[in-house]
Amino acid sequence: KQQAMMFDVITDWQQELKRTHGNITFKAVNINEGYKVSKKTVLYFECVAPIADSSFQEPFGQFNVQIWCWSHNNGSALLKMSEAPKEQDENLQIYKGLMDRIPHGVLEQPPYGSAHVEELSASLPSLQEIQAAYCRFKQLFLIDNTAEFWDSDLKWFSSVENSNWLEVIRQCLKKVIDVIRYLENTTTYVVLLVEDSCDLCCVISSLVQLMMDPYYRTKHGFQSLIQKEWVMGGHCFLDRCNHLRQTEKEEVPIFLLFLDCVWQLLQQYPPAFEFTETYLTVLSDSLYIPIFSTFFFNTPFQRDEPFMADKNQCIQSNPLSYSTVWDWSLQFEPKAQALFKNPLYVEKPKQDKTVQKSQRPKHQRQLSLPLTPNKPSPKKSFFRDEADNFMKTFLGRRISKLINFPEELQNDFREFYEDWHSKPVDLHGILLPHIEGLAVRVWAQRYLRWIPEAQILGGGTFIATSRVFQLMEEIQSLQGKLDEKQISTQLHSEGSEVFSVLHKSRFSSSFPFASLQRHSFKPVIPTNIWRSSGSDEDLAIRDDESVDLGEI
């Protein structure tokens, strides 16, 4: 079975449109096939159907149109685009030419006429602020010895707060909830607008889809989401991860920010996700493994360029091929991959198609389609009035930054947020994370796994997971005795084997990345008095002696 939809062929985009019923309004296009229009843009994408049918070519290579991300079943949709050029920009006239090629009346219809524009740069931290926060946060885990650990432990909470990393996560989650509010309560289109649609747009768009669509909370769906929004969406992994150690000023942990936000959701709603935090941790590690093409290039063109040799040249007998990170068998044995599967996951029950078809109401998306009568097409001009209104709307967004969050919008957000949390959680519906107070936490498994003093011997979330496996095995055994059948389930072969080969006394909160054979020594005397009374070098050496890394 394919591990993920790669979105490198137009049929994948068409299938995704059909799955979300977005094919009513939007259409997959291939005008950039072979990168003949733009080397910075994906080969295939989806946009509103009238624009997809129009004949514009060159201007598209310099400016984005509104690209479809996801469609809601109530008729709303999520789109993204880069900012329009500034008024003093020399490319403004070229952009006006692009607008002039759009068929008459399109700009008066959704998603243009009634779209709600979310200018992300007005309400989210800049890339420089995100990088600075992560650098401060990362320093908290660069600990050399036990003495340094307990010294930092005295000011742990204030240090985490001062790093501002958790606040960055909180702001992203808040923005996602705000976007979901518009998509859920209205039938308008929400357009994510940012200077570069390959960074923060990827974060917000992916999280919106993850929280609203249960398909993306499966392993296959999650990997397909990353392929669609990040890999084929043109996120600059090479620069943002600084793989070549050449562009430090471009290094920003945008993808790690996304994974951290996903982890916040996972630890708040474990049964809603098919994958585990171990899977997320391994995925974050794979970001820096250069043997995979998934997270190594800036654009799809950069990845495909070696394959686009001149047809007249001789083709090598052994052409270059890339491995994808989604082929987990290249890194892990089946026993280790079993740790990626969440035993708490509640799969959505399958409904009878005949019953579902008879009870299905008229599709709500039709209500959001334009109802304006057809108008005769006027004489074309270089820059029509409707395009002028469109430009004024987007160029005027820069002024609206000062009034982007009025009190009325804050009240609407709070009402939506509190109303949702007052109701029972539907694991196969919308998920809204808690963002207040201590609800946003440190991803302990990823950041604390190599610090022996921070591990909990015989504790942690993995111990709870192992107990769940044991209970499930007992239930299966009893069920097998009742049915008088031989027990041979996939869960037993994949899951229980992992726990049977390792004795529970070796488990720690950092399993499967590390485990300890004994408790770490904690000084009874406060660190400042203890350090003044004697040397800590012997203690540090003594405390590092019996560290035992896990086998997996």
Q: What is the DSSP string of 77-130?
A: EEEEEEPPPPTT-TTHHHHHHHHHHSPTTGGGSTTTSSPEEEEGGGTS--HHHH
- Whether the CB-CB separation of 416 and 185 falls below 8 Å is answered with yes
Inform me whether the pLDDT recorded for 412 exceeds 70. yes
Inform me whether the pLDDT recorded for 367 exceeds 70. no
> 26-37, pLDDT tens digit by residue?
888 887 777 777
Residue with tokens 């994370």: 433
Lowest mean pLDDT among 32-36, 412-416, 507-511: 507-511
The pTM assigned to this predicted structure is 0.77
Task: Name the token pair of 356.
Answer: 């579902």
Average pLDDT over residues 165-177: 98
At residue 545, the pLDDT reads 46
The confidence band for 399, taking pLDDT boundaries of 50, 70 and 90, is: very low
At residue 52, the pLDDT reads 54
Average pLDDT over residues 326-336: 94
Inform me whether the pLDDT recorded for 130 exceeds 60. yes
Amino acid (one-letter) located at 323 = S
The confidence band for 433, taking pLDDT boundaries of 50, 70 and 90, is: very high
Task: Name the token pair of 13.
Answer: 């985009």
The confidence band for 206, taking pLDDT boundaries of 50, 70 and 90, is: very high
At residue 28, the pLDDT reads 86
Looking at mean pLDDT, say which of 65-74, 79-88, 95-104, 175-184 comes out highest: 175-184
Which one, of 61, 68, 63, 65, lies nearest residue 102 by Cα? 65
Phi-psi region of 70 (alpha: psi -120 to 50; beta: other; left: phi over 0): beta
At residue 529, the pLDDT reads 44
Other CB atoms within 10 Å distance of the CB of residue 114? 14
> Where are the strands (E) in 168-299, listed by range?
189-194
At residue 349, the pLDDT reads 81
Which of the two residues, 88 and 281, has the higher pLDDT score?
281
Residue with tokens 């049929």: 11
Average pLDDT over residues 451-464: 79
Inform me whether the pLDDT recorded for 380 exceeds 70. no
At residue 327, the pLDDT reads 95
At residue 524, the pLDDT reads 44
What is the rounded distance in angstroms from the CA atom of residue 158 to the CA atom of residue 162?
A: 6
At residue 60, the pLDDT reads 47
- Total residues belonging to the chain: 552
